[in-house]
Amino acid sequence: MAHYDYDLFVIGAGSGGVRAARLASELGARVGIAEEYRIGGTCVIRGCVPKKLLVYGSRYGSEFPDAKGFGWTCKDLRLDWPTLIHNVKREVDRLNGVYTRTLETAGVDRFLTRAAVEGPNEIKLADRDGARSAKTILVATGGHPVMPELPGKEHLISSNECFELEQLPESIVIIGAGYISMEFASIFRGLGVAVTVLYRGEQVLRDFDMDLRDGVAHAMRNRGIDLRMDTDIASIEKESGGYRVQLKRGDSVAAGLVMAATGRAPNTSGLGLQQLGVDLGWNGRIAVDEFSKSSIDSLYAVGDVTDRVQLTPVAIHEATAFVETVFNERPTPVDHSFIPTAVFSQPEIGTVGLSEEKARETHSHIDVYKAHFRPLRSMVSGRDEKMLMKLVIDADSDKVLGCHILGSDAAEIVQMAAIALRLGATKAQFDATMALHPSAAEELVTLRHRWEPPAPVAGSDAAA
């Protein structure tokens, strides 16, 4: 029988890689892991965690004005960005230590260097001679920001650099309108920065439910963010004190910083996968089956590098299923249905299941229930912002296909709704659930009136 240095070698110590390495080691496998940057990966070092801390920090930007209606006087308010970013970095360092100790305690060999695949069972580490061998290789190298091909693209920053800013700009242009753009636009605005978002599509957050897209765009504009849709960029130029973004239609926008939030691509270049004949997708993603196995039997991949769903819990779930399949004799396919998702914009979005538009494509009879309302708190704070709660129902089976929320605590509420949707809950079961009062979430179990699309106006194209 062939002898290998390791039963499992993991490339990339992010959300997926760390989980797989630890679980396999706890099951008795000999495990090695390589990380070229910092243990913890994108989520911990420059993604979900530091971003959410900045979201918390930026929310005070609207909390203080809202407090006035409740009798508070808030004087001499001032943000000290160095304090905020220093404290965020301190938490990131702490978590980096926690993840490192987790691997240490589990007995995983750690290599802080870049790794590449040299053969179906061979790994080359950049900082040493010779190759390591492993019965199974797991690629969990994540992804990186894709920068748009524009004259002056060298002036752009990505979300990575936002966590390293020594000072806040007075103004920022953000290119793109996906969830990372919406979140950073809200963070910067909440911290007092003038924000312009430029996007060539017709509405923010492509693929989300249209009511959420329209609702969040309206609310963000009300909060002072300049969202410009149908806008193509010609170039970015450096000028004194900042940058000028030239638009194709002729006008321009000046800003202290220009950030691109135009998508992420899998980290597969230079990994040796093409030479090995591993099937890759158009954007370099590793093509895998439902057990996360690539076209080579000994090579598996989980997380963002497979470009299935780019979220931390998904990478962790895929890693857990991989270990069950390969090291615990329990073949476990990954189920990607009903993944709850948040956008930590201000206001926040929480969503799970099918959008109304998708449901209409895939089901023959759809019912929609929705409520737009001013939450109780706004009645006293005076904030003119409505919450949205929406359920999309399969009229034939009464099953709830989608749940979409815009407003405070949307993410927290949707995590719980996801359990019900996954269990196949019907609208009648939602209705039979006792409301919790006074809360915003109670609207989900008290939606009584089916929403009817407005009747076409006589004489319009629709009526013709």
Ligand X SMILES: Cc1cc2nc3c(=O)[nH]c(=O)nc-3n(C[C@H](O)[C@H](O)[C@H](O)COP(=O)(O)OP(=O)(O)OC[C@H]3O[C@@H](n4cnc5c(N)ncnc54)[C@H](O)[C@@H]3O)c2cc1C
Query: Smaller CB distance to ligand X: residue 129 or 239?
Result: 129
**Tokens linked to 315:** 């990478």
Considering the rule CB under 6 A, would residue 326 count as an interface residue with ligand X?
no
Query: Smaller CB distance to ligand X: residue 127 or 170?
Result: 127
Contact track, ligand X, 94-113, x by CB under 6 A: --------------------
Q: How far is the CB of 81 from ligand X (least distance, A)?
A: 18
Contact track, ligand X, 228-267, x by CB under 6 A: ---------------------------------------x
Q: Report H helices in 278-409.
A: 312-327, 356-362, 376-381
Q: How far is the CB of 135 from ligand X (least distance, A)?
A: 19
Which one among 14, 32, 57, 169 touches ligand X, defined by CB under 6 A? 14
Angle at 373 between CA 369 and CA 379, to 5 degrees: 165
Q: Pairing relation of β-strands 109-111 and 31-34?
A: parallel
Which one among 13, 84, 85, 392 touches ligand X, defined by CB under 6 A? 13
**Tokens linked to 460:** 């319009």
User: Which residues 6+ apart lie within 8 Å of 213 measured at CB?
Assistant: 203, 204, 205
Which one among 30, 89, 110, 114 touches ligand X, defined by CB under 6 A? 114
Q: Which burial class, exposed, middle or buried, applies to 331 when counting CB atoms under 10 A from its CB (0-12, 13-18, 19+)?
A: exposed
Q: How far is the CB of 449 from ligand X (least distance, A)?
A: 34
Q: How far is the CB of 101 from ligand X (least distance, A)?
A: 17
Considering the rule CB under 6 A, would residue 271 count as an interface residue with ligand X?
yes
According to DSSP, the residues that pair with 330 across neighbouring strands are none
DSSP state of 83: H
Q: Is 437 a catalytic residue?
A: yes
Stretch of 98-106, 210-218, 312-320, 453-461 contacting ligand X, by CB under 6 A: 312-320
DSSP string, 189-224: HHTT-EEEEE-SSSSSSTTS-HHHHHHHHHHHHHTT
- Count residues near ligand X (CB under 6 A): 34
* Cα 182 to Cα 58: distance, rounded to the nearest angstrom: 13
Considering the rule CB under 6 A, would residue 311 count as an interface residue with ligand X?
yes
Query: Smaller CB distance to ligand X: residue 130 or 438?
Result: 130
Q: How far is the CB of 393 from ligand X (least distance, A)?
A: 27
Query: Smaller CB distance to ligand X: residue 69 or 313?
Result: 313
Which residues, 15 to 44, sit near ligand X by CB under 6 A?
A: 15-17, 34-37, 41-43
Residues in the chain: 464
According to DSSP, the residues that pair with 352 across neighbouring strands are 403
Query: Smaller CB distance to ligand X: residue 347 or 375?
Result: 347
CA 45 to chain centre: 14
Stretch of 80-88, 308-316, 438-446, 455-463 contacting ligand X, by CB under 6 A: 308-316
User: Which residues 6+ apart lie within 8 Å of 288 measured at CB?
Assistant: 294, 300, 301, 306, 308
Stretch of 79-87, 214-222, 303-311, 358-366 contacting ligand X, by CB under 6 A: 303-311
Considering the rule CB under 6 A, would residue 141 count as an interface residue with ligand X?
yes
Query: Smaller CB distance to ligand X: residue 169 or 350?
Result: 350
* Cα 319 to Cα 141: distance, rounded to the nearest angstrom: 12
Which residues, 153 to 212, sit near ligand X by CB under 6 A?
A: 159, 180
**Tokens linked to 377:** 């708190």
DSSP string, 95-158: HHHHHHHHHHHHT-EEE-S-EEEEETTEEEETTSSSEEEEEEEEE---EEEPPP--TTGGG-B-
Considering the rule CB under 6 A, would residue 142 count as an interface residue with ligand X?
yes
Radius of gyration (Cα) for the chain, nearest Å? Answer: 24
Which one among 209, 304, 307, 385 touches ligand X, defined by CB under 6 A? 304
User: Which residues 6+ apart lie within 8 Å of 321 measured at CB?
Assistant: 291, 292, 332, 333, 334
End-to-end CA separation in angstroms for the chain: 76
* Cα 237 to Cα 153: distance, rounded to the nearest angstrom: 9
Query: Smaller CB distance to ligand X: residue 11 or 288?
Result: 11
Considering the rule CB under 6 A, would residue 403 count as an interface residue with ligand X?
no
Q: How far is the CB of 70 from ligand X (least distance, A)?
A: 30
Q: How far is the CB of 59 from ligand X (least distance, A)?
A: 15
Q: Which of 317, 404, 437, 449 does the annotation list as catalytic?
A: 437
**Tokens linked to 63:** 């909390």
Q: How far is the CB of 38 from ligand X (least distance, A)?
A: 6
Q: How far is the CB of 446 from ligand X (least distance, A)?
A: 29
Residues that bind ligand X (CB under 6 A): 11-17, 34-37, 41-43, 47-48, 51, 114-115, 140-142, 159, 180, 267, 271, 303-305, 310-313, 315
Q: State the catalytic residues.
A: 437
